[in-house]
Amino acid sequence: MGNALHEQLVTSLRGVGPAMAEKLASLGIHTVQDVLFQLPSRYQDRTRITPLSGLHAGLHTQVEVEVVGNEIAFGRRRALLVTTSDGSGGRLTLRFFHFSQTQKARLERGARLRCFGEARRGPRGLEMVHPEYQHLDDSDDGPEETLTPVYPSTEGLQQAGWRKLTDQALARLEVGGDVHDLLAGIPTGSEVLPTLDDALRTLHRPRPEDDIPALIEGVHPARQRLAFEELLSHRLAMLQLRDTARAHSSPHLHAPGALRHALLESMPFTPTGAQTRVINEICSDLAVPHPMQRLVQGDVGSGKTLVAAAAAAQAVESGVQVALMAPTELLAEQHFHNFDAWFSPLGVSVGWLSGKLSASQRRASQADINAGHTAITVGTHALFQSDVSFDNLGLIIIDEQHRFGVAQRQALRDKGPHAEAVPHQLIMTATPIPRTLAMTSCADLDYSVIDELPPGRKPITTVAVAANRRGDVVERVAAAIREGRQAYWVCTLIEESESLAAEAAEETAEALAEALQPHQVELVHGRLKSAEKESRMQRFKRGEADLLVATTVIEVGVDVPNASLMIIENPERLGLAQLHQLRGRVGRGSAESTCVLLYKAPLGETARERLSVLRESNDGFEIAERDLALRGSGEIFGTRQTGEMALRIANLSLDRGQLPSVARAADTIRSSHSNRIAPLLARWLGQHASDYAAV
């Protein structure tokens, strides 16, 4: 057997038979080296014992206790309650919902236990629910000497199984096994980063002399070494996407701009300086024979739709078709209505394609698109289905691009007229992307920022009100309605269940309708059919309802200038970016607008900080940076799609300082060590590596 661990099959490890090998292969683990790159997601500190007198709710810790009694309690759920003490003056209840009579008998008075778990507040004081525990005897060696790694949960492979596998892989490393160091000779910008094998040893099995607090907080050089390599792989992947796109040709869209000027002159307002600058950047891109790959970021209400329309006008005047894709029926339909109202008077046909069209409507729409009769087509995911073909697609506009994955964007791009010529792509987002995140996740794109709001847009006043003042908030809604204004009342998702959220919204709507009589209350939630949802929102938009009670389905896509008040119930459940998106549904008219954050006390420290940021700032980019620091990159964009960046160990709020060095290292590898790119992508992107290599 050779010493190169990336050449040793995982089946050479004890306990890995065909069934286990198949499970590991589904995780991209084929070799002994792959096992070492299945890194712990966190650590448990079982190196010390916490006295019960020092225990508090929320603390994950280890205790040594003596059982002073047990009983079976009958309530909503049958439970075994074990009362314990340690002589420090505190008491702790161990609660088991699943237990046997043998287990109960062994947890008798006088039994000594070492337990690990999370302390919570219960009916009898502090308790641990189903803690890990072991019985102690006089020969016990005491607490663990090192931190205990916790690996990402996997179906069919528990923590003990991961530790056995990594023990064997580390043993081979100790006897001279070689890990493939893909950063050898590459400057990392830091003298403190350890070698790859030392970093792997430390992360899997921290030693007592290691900086334990740094490991727990995620700032240890061993973690930074692996984070650097992961960030590097993602940057290389995005640069490969850029190279692949630029290798194609695209149509020259260099018309004189008469249609674009006519469109802008027909508007009842003058574009802002930022809009004009971004439109000019886009038109410059469209005039070159290589595909534009431009991301336009703009805060809520900054006027991205007009910028997209100007780009579409330039493309249509140049003789090509345009496709505009949005992630939801609601948002796509709003774009369709706007584009149709703007372009139809100019003699430009605008088509609509979505999943809710009837079969005959869909066939008619597809025929017009295929024949080239439709100049601009607006739609949802339906646009990139295999049965949709364009006559001469030259520009693709994608709204809220983070909702679509690499493969989906590729499917739409391939609908260009020729294999060797691809459409230009304009990508828009109202979710401001922190600069640190953009350096990694958007390295394949040029990007523009609309950093100016239209004149007349006033900052939204944001206040936080405790739920026990709900009556005052309802009266505030009533006062706004009496003044001729409309309002939103947002019910946030409960336990990530759309069904429960819908029920909560229905109950809220009924209570508010009764309290606000005779004013009209409309209700919208995710369980409604698209047609009904759209109908209710349109009634609100027309002013036929005074209050719209909704779940977060209204995050994007609703534009009601007369709405000047928003209530967000339980805002502590949401992240800053989503709260800012919701808040942006008001303040779209000339009236002073207010957002009320109706929170449930007491607030945790993070939730309190989150609401404080929202009260202090209306700047989406500042809020996005704070959101990144509070929650990390993985949650800013919400649901991930195929091929989208999902960091395994790197954390951009912790590792942002490494990004300039990562960019320089990527340039070095691309110019002098290009043979390392494929192994880096395979190591960190696994099955998604081909999305970047082959696009």
- Is the confidence at residue 380, as pLDDT, over 90? no
- How far apart are the C-alpha atoms of 312 and 321, rounded to whole Å? 8
- How far apart are the C-alpha atoms of 323 and 333, rounded to whole Å? 14
Give how far Cα 226 sits from Cα of 37, 47, 195, Å.
Answer: 9, 25, 10
Beta 60-73 vs 79-85: how paired, if at all? antiparallel
Taking the C-alpha atoms of 469, 472, 474 and 478 in order, what is their torsion angle to the nearest 10 degrees? -170
Give how far Cα 501 sits from Cα of 12, 118, 465, 526, Å.
Answer: 50, 28, 21, 9
- How far apart are the C-alpha atoms of 470 and 613, rounded to whole Å? 22
- How far apart are the C-alpha atoms of 577 and 626, rounded to whole Å? 9
Beta 112-118 vs 91-96: how paired, if at all? unpaired
Query: What mean pLDDT is predicted for residues 177-202?
Result: 90
- How far apart are the C-alpha atoms of 535 and 457, rounded to whole Å? 28
210-214, 319-323, 429-433, 500-504: which has the minimum mean pLDDT?
A: 500-504
Phi first, then psi: what are they for 398, rounded to 5°?
A: -120, 120
- pLDDT (0 to 100) of residue 637: 38
109-118, 536-545, 575-584: which has the minimum mean pLDDT?
A: 575-584
For residue 9, the SS3 value is strand
24-33, 281-290, 362-371, 616-625: which has the minimum mean pLDDT?
A: 616-625
Left, alpha or beta for 178 (phi > 0: left; psi -120 to 50: alpha)? beta
Whole-angstrom distance between the N-terminal and C-terminal Cα of the chain?
37
17 and 165 in contact (C-beta within 8 Å)? no
When pLDDT is cut at 50, 70 and 90, the band that residue 91 belongs to is very high
Give how far Cα 358 sits from Cα of 382, 526, 531, Å.
Answer: 13, 21, 12
- Is the confidence at residue 694, as pLDDT, over 60? no
> Between 607 and 322, whose confidence is greater?
322
pTM above 0.85, yes or no: no
**Cα 154 to chain centroid, rounded:** 21
- Is the confidence at residue 280, as pLDDT, over 50? yes
- How far apart are the C-alpha atoms of 259 and 248, rounded to whole Å? 27
- pLDDT (0 to 100) of residue 494: 53
- How far apart are the C-alpha atoms of 517 and 532, rounded to whole Å? 23
Tell which residue, 169, 147, 125, 141, has the closest CA to residue 61: 147
Tell which residue, 278, 609, 646, 625, has the closest CA to residue 431: 625
When pLDDT is cut at 50, 70 and 90, the band that residue 638 belongs to is very low
Percent of the chain topping pLDDT 70: 89
User: How does pLDDT run across 382-436, given as a tens digit for each residue?
Assistant: 888 888 889 999 999 998 765 555 666 666 677 766 556 789 999 888 776 766 6
Give me the chain's average pLDDT, please.
Answer: 86
Q: With 0-12 CB in 10 A as exposed, 13-18 as middle and 19+ as buried, what is 430?
A: buried
Query: What mean pLDDT is predicted for residues 235-258?
Result: 88
Tell which residue, 177, 162, 181, has the closest CA to residue 41: 162
Q: With 0-12 CB in 10 A as exposed, 13-18 as middle and 19+ as buried, what is 688?
A: buried
Tokens 């595909």 sit on residue: 291
Burial 259-281 (b: 16+ CB within 10 A, else e): bbeebbeeeeeebbebbebbbeb
- How far apart are the C-alpha atoms of 680 and 183, rounded to whole Å? 9
When pLDDT is cut at 50, 70 and 90, the band that residue 695 belongs to is very low
* Entry field: residues in the chain: 695
For residue 385, the SS3 value is coil
Classify residue 376 by its DSSP letter.
E
Walk me through the domains of the chain, giving residue ranges and CATH numbers: 5-44+148-206 (no CATH), 52-135 (2.40.50.140), 246-450 (3.40.50.300), 461-617 (3.40.50.300)
- Is the confidence at residue 668, as pLDDT, over 70? yes
Residues 6+ apart with CB under 8 A from 663: 235, 439
DSSP helix, strand, coil percent of the chain (3-state; round to 5):
45, 20, 35
Angle at 500 between CA 126 and CA 632, to 5 degrees: 65
- How far apart are the C-alpha atoms of 103 and 110, rounded to whole Å? 14
682 and 29 in contact (C-beta within 8 Å)? no
Residues 6+ apart with CB under 8 A from 528: 536
- pLDDT (0 to 100) of residue 435: 65
**Lookup: tokens for 432:** 């401001």
Percent of the chain topping pLDDT 90: 48
- pLDDT (0 to 100) of residue 577: 78
When pLDDT is cut at 50, 70 and 90, the band that residue 495 belongs to is very low
Query: What mean pLDDT is predicted for residues 99-109?
Result: 93
For residue 462, the SS3 value is strand
Q: Which amino acid is at 255?
A: A
Q: 677-685 vs 659-672: helix axis angle to the nearest 10?
A: 130
When pLDDT is cut at 50, 70 and 90, the band that residue 107 belongs to is very high
- pLDDT (0 to 100) of residue 408: 63
Query: What mean pLDDT is predicted for residues 211-216?
Result: 84
**Lookup: tokens for 486:** 């409309």
List, as one string, the DSSP characters of 120-138: EEETTEEEEES-EEEE--T
When pLDDT is cut at 50, 70 and 90, the band that residue 347 belongs to is very high
List, as one string, the DSSP characters of 388-427: ---SSEEEEEEESGGGS-HHHHHHHHTTSSBTTB--EEEE
When pLDDT is cut at 50, 70 and 90, the band that residue 643 belongs to is very low
- Is the confidence at residue 143, as pLDDT, over 90? no
When pLDDT is cut at 50, 70 and 90, the band that residue 141 belongs to is confident
For residue 482, the SS3 value is helix
User: How does pLDDT run across 11-70, given as a tens digit for each residue?
Assistant: 999 999 999 999 998 888 999 999 999 999 888 888 889 999 989 888 889 999 999 999
Angle at 596 between CA 591 and CA 597, to 5 degrees: 150
Q: What's the sign of the alpha-carbon dihedral 119, 121, 123, 124?
A: positive
